Amino acid sequence: MPDAATIDELLRRIGLDARPAPDADGLRAVHRAFVASLAYDGLTAQLGEHAPLDPDALIARTLATGRGGYCFEINTILLTLLEALDFGMERREGVVGERGASPTNHLALVATTREGDSYICDAGWGEGPLEPLALRPGAHAQGPFTWTVGRDGDGWWVGQHAWGSSPGFRFGDAPVELSAFAQHHARLATSPDSSFVQTLVVQQPHADHVVTLRARTLSRKGPEIDERTVLEDEAALAGTLQGVFGIAPLGPERTARLWAGARAQHDAFVSAREAAHRRPASA
C-alpha cells in the first residue's frame, strides 16, 4: 500500500485537495475526478513495455507521466486509491464483449461504502461512466447516457450505452486477488492476437461524449456530436496524447515507434475496407 503522502499526491493529481469520506458522495467525487483526469490507454502493449501489475509502480508512473493505462493497470490504481480512502474494495474477473465471451480480459471493481451500499467502479472501460454504478438491477442514467445492470448467471452484466463500441461486460460474484490477472495481463499486453497489441487505443469519457484515438483516427461521439479526424503526422499524435488526454511527452524514440505502428494500423484498416467494398456481393 502506498504511503499517505503518495495517496495525497494522487488525489491532488486528479484535482482533489482533501480526502473525501468513504460514503456514497465521496465515492462519486473520487470516481468522477479520477476518470475525468486519467485516460484509458493501451500504450503498454503498443510500446512493448509489459511489466507486472505493481500498484506502487503504476501510481509512480501516473504521477510522473499522467498515464492511467489499460483496464488491468488503471483499475489497479483506482482500487489502491479507494482502499486507502477506507472503501471496501473487491476485484472481480470480467469479460468485455458479447455475452458468453471468454477468457478474462477485464478487471472489474466493486466498492462498498460505509453505509454498506455496493457500486461498480470502472476507469478501465474507456467508454464507461464518469460516476460509479449502483450494484443493483436496473437502468442507470448519467446525463444523456444510460447503462443497464442485471444478474447474469453467477455474476453481473453491465450493458453499454448506445454510443459505445462494445456491448458491455460481465463479471463474476467471487472476489479474487491481483495475482489472478497476471496471466491475462501478460497475454493482452504481449500476444500478437491481442487487440491491444494490434491497435493503438486511447479513450476518455466526458459528460456528453466519448473521445477515442484509434490508430490515427481521433473521434468524438455522443448524442449531439459525431466527429472524426485522421492525424496527419507524428507531431499531431504527440500533441493529441498531451493536449487531449493529458499524457506527458513520450520522448522522440518512443513517439516515433508509436506513430509508425499507428500509421501501419491505419493503412491496414483502409486497405481491408477498400477490399471489402470491391468484393462482389454474393448471389
User: Residues near 123 by Cβ (< 8 Å), separated by ≥ 6?
Assistant: 31, 34, 35, 38, 40, 68, 74, 75, 77, 78
Task: Print the domain residue range for 227.
Answer: 194-276
The answer to whether the beta carbons of residues 54 and 67 sit under 8 Å apart is: no
Residue 166's nearest CA partner among 120, 201, 115, 117 is: 201
83 lies in some domain: no
- Phi/psi for 116 (5° steps) reads 95, 5
Helix (H, G, I), strand (E, B) or coil at 176: strand
Contact yes or no for 107/60 (Cβ under 8 A): no
* Neighbour tally for 95: CB within 10 Å: 20
Q: Are 183 and 38 in contact (CB under 8 A)?
A: no
Q: For residue 272, what is the domain's CATH number?
A: 3.30.2140.10
72 found inside a domain: no
Any domain includes 228: yes
Domain total of the chain: 1
Closest CA to 184 of 261, 95, 98: 95
Eight-class DSSP state of 225: E
Query: Would residue 94 count as lying in a domain?
Result: no
User: What are the pLDDT tens digits along the chain (283 aa)?
Assistant: 899 999 999 999 999 999 999 999 999 999 999 999 999 999 999 999 999 999 999 999 999 999 999 999 999 999 999 999 999 999 999 999 988 888 999 999 999 999 999 999 999 999 999 999 999 999 999 999 999 999 999 999 999 999 999 999 999 999 999 999 999 999 999 999 999 999 999 999 999 999 999 999 999 999 999 999 999 999 999 999 999 999 999 999 999 999 999 999 999 999 998 888 887 765 4
User: Beta-strand (E) ranges in 144-235?
Assistant: 145-152, 155-159, 168-172, 201-205, 210-214, 217-222, 225-230
